[in-house]
């Protein structure tokens, strides 16, 4: 798109949206948010960037193919369930670990890893669709 204002603002907007999507992803365990909605926000960031600078630039900036991102997401979501294999509990049982840094206690858990997988799966799938639509010609 040739609008000067849009092209100037789009990279900043994209960066803010991606950071916000990660924030939404991480707060999702106990509050509104999570991997799915975070992934949608990140995918719309990618779509906006694509409208502003063209699909070719976006593909260069993403480095990997969006479908590969989606595959990676499904893989680590599946993997998060396998972590309970050695614990005599069923597949996908939530396991929790705590790390204390000073006064702050950070929680690491398998549901979080699962959610990150969902995030990547959604980002990959939706941006693959969005980029293909913006390209117009699917099969070059």
Is the Cβ of residue 26 or residue 92 nearer to other proteins in the bound state? 92
Under the criterion CB under 8 A, does residue 79 sit at the interface with other proteins? yes
Q: CA separation (Å) from 96 to 37, 99, 106, 109, 115? A: 23, 10, 10, 4, 14
The least distance separating other proteins from the CB of residue 110, rounded to whole angstroms, comes to 10
If you ran DSSP here, which 8-state letter would residue 136 be given? S
Among 20, 26, 40, 81, which residue sits at the site for other proteins (rule: CB under 8 A)? 81
Is the Cβ of residue 88 or residue 104 nearer to other proteins in the bound state? 88
Under the criterion CB under 8 A, does residue 37 sit at the interface with other proteins? no
**Cβ–Cβ < 8 Å for 117, 81:** no
**What is the per-residue DSSP string for 75-116?**
HHHHHHHHGGGGGTS-TT---EEEEEETTEEEEEEHHHHHHH
Among 1, 15, 91, 107, which residue sits at the site for other proteins (rule: CB under 8 A)? 91
Among 26, 93, 132, 134, which residue sits at the site for other proteins (rule: CB under 8 A)? 93
101 CB contacts (<8 Å, ≥6 apart)?
A: none
Under the criterion CB under 8 A, does residue 97 sit at the interface with other proteins? no
Judged by the rule CB under 8 A, the positions of this chain that interact with other proteins are 65, 67-68, 70-75, 78-79, 81-82, 85, 88-94, 139
């Amino acid at each position: 798109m040739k609008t000067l204002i849009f092209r100037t603002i789009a990279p900043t907007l994209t960066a803010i949206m991606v950071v916000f999507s990660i924030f939404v992803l991480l707060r999702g365990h106990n509050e509104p948010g999570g991997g799915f909605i975070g992934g949608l926000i990140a995918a719309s960031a990618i779509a906006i960037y694509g409208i502003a600078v063209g699909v070719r630039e976006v593909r260069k900036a993403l480095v990997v193919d969006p479908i590969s991102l989606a595959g990676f997401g499904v893989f680590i979501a599946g993997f998060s369930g396998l972590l309970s294999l050695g614990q005599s509990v069923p597949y996908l049982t939530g396991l929790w670990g705590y790390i204390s840094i000073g006064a702050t206690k950070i929680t690491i858990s398998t549901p979080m890893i699962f959610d990150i997988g969902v995030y990547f799966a959604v980002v990959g799938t939706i941006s693959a669709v969005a980029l293909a639509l913006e390209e117009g010609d699917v099969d070059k």
